[in-house]
Structure 1
């Protein structure tokens, strides 16, 4: 299957992408991984991306698109893939369509994870990370530590990332609504979108997603 995963920040895209890719035996391709891989390998595209990220600027679409195309050329993506974080806007969606047309293949579905805005804010603003190791993540409501402000595993101090405050989360949501949400209508016009609720446990959402993608594949 060839799938695009969309949804607002805090919808659980990264978690669901990993589960779905494993269940469907296709590679999970995320924008973040593309950037990290290209930068760490010192590719020409990675060096270009780093010029922008190191100065706090957005990486231009043409660089992101080129990275995605390179990744889709790899052998493991020949029979399918799950794209997470790409395309992020209409220009990227159109570029992906053009690439797939050249390859004479099409997307099988666009999975839209739907979450109420207040829930997104609650999920992200309540998140706390361990300052000591960075690996352990807690939530003040859903997964609180045994001792407030202290990591259960290593005793490190828990903190809130600067961009996880409620004000900044709402700004990220505004960017999502203005830049990324329009691709949902773009793909709806192609009859590709299946929308599911991203509320519930990880397993519940995964089961919902697999059922929706099965329906999309049979259309």
Structure 2
């Protein structure tokens, strides 16, 4: 799963999430995820051939695609829910975007701001609370104190409530959270739906374990310049 220059997954995530051309490719790819996979492969191959993206950038986008399809599969069985996936870097207390194919890519600049300001804690939106408590967190974006600093921007996208579900590696290490957004206030994921989502997550345990392990390996080298969204 490494890029052509030997980049780790985390190096790709921290470098390419900030690139305009990656965001532009995601705008094209995300609507195609539920359709023919060959269409995306042809598009990416042409993008590489025309110098729009590099081979390592294509490898990164394929990681995004796998995560994005998992989100779409969950959205098919949840009622009016938009699913996003975040990974967590415990050593540096950072979160970064894994996938969210049904939401405009600009929405995820929200997490870049959180990282730059160093404000991720248990009072930082639903995902911050889920990360620090390692429990499922339901919140109403318009009224919850968890969203006090961010709700204006989130409400502009039409989201009114959020359920964040932490997920873990096979070894029990916190890997990140699934954030489930709804346009309806106080639209919370039920306990049965939480159980179903957790079962779905377990089907992608290899991908989750691999990425989480790479995060741990990368932070151990002490790269002070690491910036992840």
TM-score range, shorter chain: 0.3 to 0.5
Structure having the higher Rg: 1
Larger RCO, structures 1/2 (Cα 8 Å, 6+ apart)? 1
User: What is the TM-score with the length of structure 2 in the denominator?
Assistant: 0.34
